[in-house]
Amino acid sequence: MNPRQVAEYMFDQDYFSQWMNIKLIEVKENYCLLEMPIKKDMINGLKTVHGGVTFAFADSALAFSSNNTGDAAVALNCIINFTKAGKEGDVFRAESILVNDTRKTAVYDIKITNQNQELIAKFVGTVYKIGKKVTEL
């Protein structure tokens, strides 16, 4: 399978990403660009996007970029910095780029922006390569 097919295979089984209405915009080896509309049930008590939603969106980008070669990887460590509050009706984009790759781990930079290209959050995720194929899980 090519990277897009692997990401689609994973997405078909990822009911949480489906609930978030994530769309796979672009998928290349160790890279992805996702889009997600912000809906009312993603808003917190301060009328902004719940931080857990933003984190989960970045985590999905990490998953679709770090597994799309077909070799399974799981999150080992993730750090997020929130830079701007999102609002209902926004459209978020997450771009995940591989920045370091070793035999057992890899590090990805993920940038989340809104429809105005404003930075919403910066996420760095480290994955551990578990030694299995995505299709074996």
Cα(93)–Cα(114) distance, integer angstroms: 6
| pLDDT tens profile 103-121 | 999 999 999 999 999 999 9
Q: What phi, psi does 83 have (nearest 5°)?
A: -115, -20
Q: Specify the CATH number for the domain of residue 102.
A: 3.10.129.10
Question: Structural domain tally of the chain?
Answer: 1
Cα(137)–Cα(135) distance, integer angstroms: 6
Helices (H), 1-137: 3-13, 15-19, 51-66
| C-alpha radius of gyration, the chain, whole number | 14
Profile the chain (137 residues) by mean pLDDT over runs of 10 residues. Answer: 98 98 98 98 98 98 98 98 98 98 98 98 98 97
Look at the pTM and tell me if it is higher than 0.95: yes
| pLDDT tens profile 46-55 | 999 999 999 9
Predicted local distance difference test score (pLDDT) of residue 102: 98
Q: Which domain holds residue 19?
A: 3-136
Neighbouring CB atoms inside 10 A of 16's CB total 10
Q: What length does the chain have?
A: 137
Predicted local distance difference test score (pLDDT) of residue 95: 99
* β-sheet bridge partners, residue 28: 31
User: Residue 28 belongs to what H/E stretch?
Assistant: strand 23-28
Cα(9)–Cα(98) distance, integer angstroms: 21
